[in-house]
Amino acid sequence: MHNKYKIYYFINHFNRDEIKNLDKNISIIYRNYNEKLDIKTIKDIKSLCNKQNREFYISNNLKIAQKFNLTGVYIPSFNYLPNLKHITVRKNFKIIGSAHNKIQLINKIKQGCEEVFLAPIFNTKKTNFFLNISKFNLISRSTDIKIIALGGINSTNYKKLKAVKCYGFAAINWIKKNRPKKIGRF
C-alpha cells in the first residue's frame, strides 16, 4: 500500500477563494445537477485550475469536457451510457466514474473509466447505507482498476483508509470545512 493518495474535491458552484485555498494536488470535479450549465463558470474554473496546474473534471458532460479541453469527464453512477471508451478523445483525456456496488463498478469499467469512486465507504448524513471497510475491500480487491474511496471521510476516520485498497479518496464536507493543506499522506 502506498502512502500518498490522489485526492478529489467536488464543487457545485465556483468560489475562487475556496479553490485557491486548497492544496495544489487536489483535483476538482464540478457537478451541479440542479442548475443549467453555465459556460462562463466552466471557463472560470478551468482558467483558475490551469493557473494552479490542477486537474479539472466536469460531471456527466463529455461534450463540454472535450470542447474546453478539460482533464476529463466524471460519469456518475446513474449514467449507464455504454462504450464511452470507444469514443475518440485526445491523448491524456481521462474518464472517471462512480459506483455503489459491484454491478455498477462493472458498468463503469465497460464505460472506459480509468478510476472509479466507490461510495459511500463510511456513514454519511445523506443515506443509511454505507459499504464499511470489509465490503469496500471485497469490491475494490475484485478489480485492477484504480478505486477512489468516497463518502463520510473526515478527520476521525481518515486514517482508516490505510486498511482499504484504494488509489485515492474524495471528500466534500471535510475538505470544505477544514481546507486541510497537507492531506493525502499518513
| Whether 28 contacts 59, CB under 8 Å | no
Please report the pLDDT score of residue 72 as a whole number. 95
Lowest-confidence range among 29-43, 78-92, 101-115, 125-139?
78-92
Q: Which amino acid is present at 54?
A: R
* Core vs surface per residue 151-168: b (16+ CB within 10 A) or e: bbbeeeebeebeebbbbb
The whole-angstrom separation of Cα 107 and Cα 89 is 20
Looking at every residue in the chain, the average pLDDT score rounds to 88
pTM of the full structure: 0.89
| Domains of the chain by residue range | 6-178
C-alpha cell at 94: 481521462
Average pLDDT of span 105-119:
94
**Is the pLDDT at 110 greater than 70, yes or no?**
yes
Cα separation of 127 and 147, whole Å? 21
> What local confidence, expressed as pLDDT, does residue 186 receive?
37
CATH superfamily of 6-178: Aldolase class I (3.20.20.70)
What cell does 98 get? 462512480
Confirm if 71 and 57 have CB atoms less than 8 A apart: yes
Q: Which pLDDT tens digit goes with each residue over 33-79?
A: 899 999 999 999 999 999 999 999 999 999 999 999 999 999 999 98
Helices (H) and strands (E) in the chain, counts: 6, 8
